Amino acid sequence: MKQLIGLDLGTSGVKALLIDTGGKVLKTHTEEYPLYQPEQGWSEQDPDEWWDAVVRSLKEILSANEANPEEVKGLSLSGQMHGSVFLDGTGGVIRNPILWNDTRTTDQCREIEETVGEEKLLELVGNPALEGFTAPKVLWLREEEPENYEKLETLLLPKDYIVYRLTGRLVTEKSDAAGTILYDVQNQEWSDEVITELGIDKDVLPEVLDSVDVVKELKPELAKELDLSTDLKVIAGGADNACSAVGNGIVEEGLFLASIGS
């Protein structure tokens, strides 16, 4: 029977799951990684530590007695929302990502409200300007670390960085794009109006896929390292709250989910 891998890139660790297409859970594994708080209210992580945890988790679940690497046909991800992974022109990480629970961007949120307008922002991107979202982090980088902003070539969300490391392709998908407050949810495209108003270079924003789209096959060298098939498909995946809603059956109009937590 064919097998599938799920990865959830959380704030405290990555959770990995190997299942068969009948829904039987064959193996689960969790790898933790640290949170860095260099100043009060700041929250950052090291993407290399994400990646190392992902690789260790993949190796662990593939060591299960029932694992059959040649039958693993797909891998998809969910992940912590809103974090900013800043990449340079070589695909290298410029600085540690600023996470969803970082509160340094209060001034930038007020700047967005004044520049775009609170009502206009809701109309264009469906969200208010809150510290957790991604756009304020971009403005913070421009204002507080201009030398790093000058290097910025691509902005990714956390799970999308893992997709990039798995496939070599720089993309995001609609559920995570919606949490940047740079994405027009109604028209399903980056909001030219908000991007222009904020003076952000649209070229740093990646292509937006559907959550169920195939990004690409697993990198050949990684497939060899993990003893996986080179035709394993990596799927775009989704933001963790969006995936949680689907997992709870919120898949049609008229249903809602109350998530009471962090």
User: What residues are annotated to the active site?
Assistant: 240
Residue carrying the six token digits 């080179």: 230
Say how far apart CA 138 and CA 144 lie, in whole Å: 10
CB 199 within 8 A of CB 176: no
Cα dist. 256→230, 234, 244, 245, 248 in Å? Answer: 39, 29, 12, 8, 9
Helix ranges restricted to H, the chain: 47-61, 106-116, 118-125, 135-144, 146-149, 158-167, 174-177, 192-198, 220-226, 240-247
Say how far apart CA 12 and CA 10 lie, in whole Å: 6
